[in-house]
Structure 1
């Protein structure tokens, strides 16, 4: 990048072009001639030389703009890398000093995104290890160790999300750390346990009658928990809307200003309950995974975890295909 200097291009090239143009004009035989055809040729040559000079000037400008664009992109990339590096060093999830939530500042969303990407990378490594063990017909003892490790790894992301929600609950609730297709099925910052269980029943056959009853009951209880949380969120939204509507109208008088401030304080207090909804939703997801593991055998649990991972992997692949689709 340092070898390509726009200043050198625009200075030496312009001087050389000017000298060549003057030399060609001054020494052209057409200029010496006096008949009509010579003058016509002179004019054509002058126009052609002027056109060539204009084309060369525009080419230099395009080259200069391209070099400047490359330099600007390089600077932005360097800044992004530095920001990510600072997030790794100062983010709450990388910190090992104990109270991680204290480190979650204005870069909380970025820090969480970085940590989630790191968690997902480790999760994929564990899944690949599990897949290899299943394909090689490893014993139940080896499978149990890998399965327990993956479930413990899920516990990590629930804890991480809980800490992140304390700093930026709307970032977790919006699911902007997920791919677009995953966000399409998002529920309170994550997946619906009941929907996953529906998908897994066909993947885990054959199930014993007792296991089928257990999975069905677990799916129903998960659905009931999700419905209760969804109703709570709807009630919160309705209450928040009514509170904000109560502050509408003129606020010139001191009484109205005081009323406005009081209503906004009430609205802030209600927003504070969002963190609790995300925590309860993640607790439901965590308990569903653990209960599923208790109902199934070790080998069935391994197949279930692989199926869950494949489902979300396909959602992420679908997002990539959607974003890369041809547009007219």
Structure 2
């Protein structure tokens, strides 16, 4: 017969209890993580349902607006009414996008402050990035319908418009903001962001020059018809008008290239930064534009002398 000594029992019991406690703790942590995951999934499903309902309402309002535009329009005004309806639809779509964006940013901020795991944080970061891609897609469709409306950026506040470039932010400004405000960054990360900033500035300069060429050509086309109302033939006048409209249409291509550059800057930023740095970077960008909107509201509400 083999006997276990009392000393052996006394030395192994605490180890067994410790293992049990650790197992129970892991099980409790797993249950808590599963509970939070279910809550996030439930909130996400509800968010999708709310967005679907809002989108349905938007489509119904847009359909009514289009019907009213067709009813009240003459053949000469129908194109203008359609363009106005498309502009109205984009403005409403942007407001819907901004509302959803604010929800995602609040979720991201909460995850950063509560030190969520990298997997959960990456999931939220990916959702925010995909949401940015969505607004660029929507803007592209709006630019095809009315490039001038997208360039004017009337859906943004007046203060935001003071800082816009080709219907949006300058990628180089965004990269400079991150280099100045996002800490700590390694020397390699700073060098990569600096190189991206220089590359973005060169691309911005090229697109700006392209817009200047279009504007100069458009101005010359318009000026060429001054004082020739009685001397130009109807066909020549029609040709010049078509040429002028074509040059306005050329702006659509520049708008698309500018938005592509913006999206590429966000994507390159994400590749350079860690998951947590990417989360903080997205919060910085969102807070920057939120403060501009808040300042605009304060300006409007200021006491008048």
Which bracket does the TM-score occupy, shorter chain normalised? Answer: 0.7 to 0.9
SS of 1:207 mapped into structure 2: coil
1:88, 1:114 within 8 Å by CA — same for their partners in 2?
no
* Post-superposition offset of 1:90: 5.5
Whose radius of gyration is greater, 1 or 2?
A: 1
1:270 to 240, 247, 256: 247
* Post-superposition offset of 1:87: 4.6
1:123, 1:150 within 8 Å by CA — same for their partners in 2?
yes
* Post-superposition offset of 1:251: 3.1
Unaligned runs of 5+ in 2: 1-54, 64-81
2:297 is the alignment partner of 1:320: yes
* Post-superposition offset of 1:154: 0.1
SS of 1:272 mapped into structure 2: helix
C-alpha separation between the residues in 1 aligned to 2:193 and 2:288? 19
1:251, 1:257 within 8 Å by CA — same for their partners in 2?
no
2:284 is the alignment partner of 1:307: yes
Please, what is the CA RMSD of the aligned residues? 1.8
1:297 to 253, 270, 274: 274
* Post-superposition offset of 1:113: 1.0
2:151, 2:166 within 8 Å by CA — same for their partners in 1?
yes
Cα 1:133/1:237, change in 2 over 3 Å: same
Look up the match of 2:195: 217
Look up the match of 1:130: 108
Look up the match of 1:178: 156
1:88 to 37, 40, 59: 59
TM, length-normalised to structure 1: 0.68
**Bigger relative contact order (CA 8 A; separation at least 6):** 2
C-alpha separation between the residues in 1 aligned to 2:110 and 2:57? 36
* Post-superposition offset of 1:243: 1.2
Cα 1:236/1:186, change in 2 over 3 Å: same
SS of 2:164 mapped into structure 1: coil
After the TM superposition, list the runs of 4 or more consecutive aligned residues in structure 1 that deviate by more than 3 angstroms: 84-88
2:147, 2:248 within 8 Å by CA — same for their partners in 1?
no
* Post-superposition offset of 1:308: 0.4
1:87, 1:110 within 8 Å by CA — same for their partners in 2?
no
C-alpha separation between the residues in 2 aligned to 1:86 and 1:314? 30
2:170 is the alignment partner of 1:188: no
C-alpha separation between the residues in 1 aligned to 2:155 and 2:130? 21
Q: Size of the alignment, in residue pairs?
A: 233
C-alpha separation between the residues in 1 aligned to 2:189 and 2:222? 49
Unaligned runs of 5+ in 1: 1-83, 93-103
C-alpha separation between the residues in 2 aligned to 1:89 and 1:276? 30
* Post-superposition offset of 1:285: 0.3
SS of 2:116 mapped into structure 1: coil
